[in-house]
Structure 1
Amino acid sequence: MYNKVIVFEGIDGSGKSYHLNAASKYLKKKKVKHIRLREPGGSKNSEHLRKMLLSNKSDFEKKTDLLIYLSARSENFYKIIKPNLKKKTILIDRFIDSTFAYQHYGFGIDKKIIKLLNKFILGNFKADFTFLHLVQKKKIGNKIKNKKNRYDKFNKNFYNKVQNGFLKLSNKKKNYLKIFSNDSKETNKKIIQNKLDSLIKIR
């Protein structure tokens, strides 16, 4: 069995969190030792930062937003991810590509700055595999039913730019699998489970 770092990406309402939860239940059933965390969030300090970032009362400037997100990532990496590498499979709800998709493609922050800051925090570390959850273009924005945080309130055009950003990122990489939200949840759960079996070598 191989312990991997596996990321679930996608815009808000794409089903990524649902499928991460389903994957976690599947690994538990198969007795695979694993941890799960979310971005922003995860470690105690990162959860505090998450509350600030996503609060409807917050109005951070976009560069401040980026730096807080990356501060939360730094806490997670050094306190959760790094100590568990190769010891447990790690499931992450959002990671590096969300930063590029939202902060660069969505908000227009220079890609070089994001890349430099990620390098500063993570060194050469990269996730082993990413499941990218995609929403049909005509349904973007419709799947966010409960607007619980300030990111839920951005318009359809913003989420179009973000999803297009994810697609551009995925086209440059081999360790990506696209999951389409217009397919049934059961179909997608099976696709993800089969991939987990091959990645982790579950018997």
Structure 2
Amino acid sequence: MPYLVPPHIPPGRLADSVQPALPVAEDLLLRPWRYGDAPAVLAAFADPAIQRWHLRRADTEDEARDWIDQWRNAWYCETGAHRAVVRPGDTADGAEELLGRISLRSLTPAIGQAECAYWMLPAARGRGIAPRALSTLTRWSFDEIGFERLELHHSVLNEASCRVAAKAGFALEGTRRRGHLHADGWHDMHVHARIRGDGAPG
């Protein structure tokens, strides 16, 4: 049965290209995940604040590497675009600091929609890093890939995530009642969104 409209984003837009690193500014970079990031991922998911809003945890570096493998492969399956948020190293050995994760997931290229998600390690919170990273990912998603709508969902109890969404220009559109099951039960979920053509945040 033929579609009445062509795919908004043609197949292969992601899979046929190299995963880019996206500079946020001189001090921040969104880059593809590396298997060497596994210890930092393991540490992140040991953090109680990150565990509170997720359904899974990593107990070993092997499990963390499996996640990284899934994040990397999602690009070529065109189901996700996952990035490590890092502070590039300025030392002789090029050491860098991993600060968090930001992603596009639940990609539906045919209709130009995706969902944003993020977490930050404790040392990176409260410093404006998450909204800057989200704004950069959003611009790239609209300008380079061609998405029309990006959504962002979080528990109504997650006030920090709500602030990040607002600072990055994601308007609060409503609440999904009992929208997500967390370890402590069902949570209502805020639904935020940005569409192509929305004004710049703030």
Query: Taking structure 2 as the reference length, what is the TM-score of the superposition?
Result: 0.30
Instruction: Identify, as 1 or 2, the structure richer in strand.
Output: 2
TM, length-normalised to structure 1: 0.30
Which structure is higher in helix share? Answer: 1
Highest RCO, 1 vs 2 (Cα 8 Å, sep ≥ 6): 1
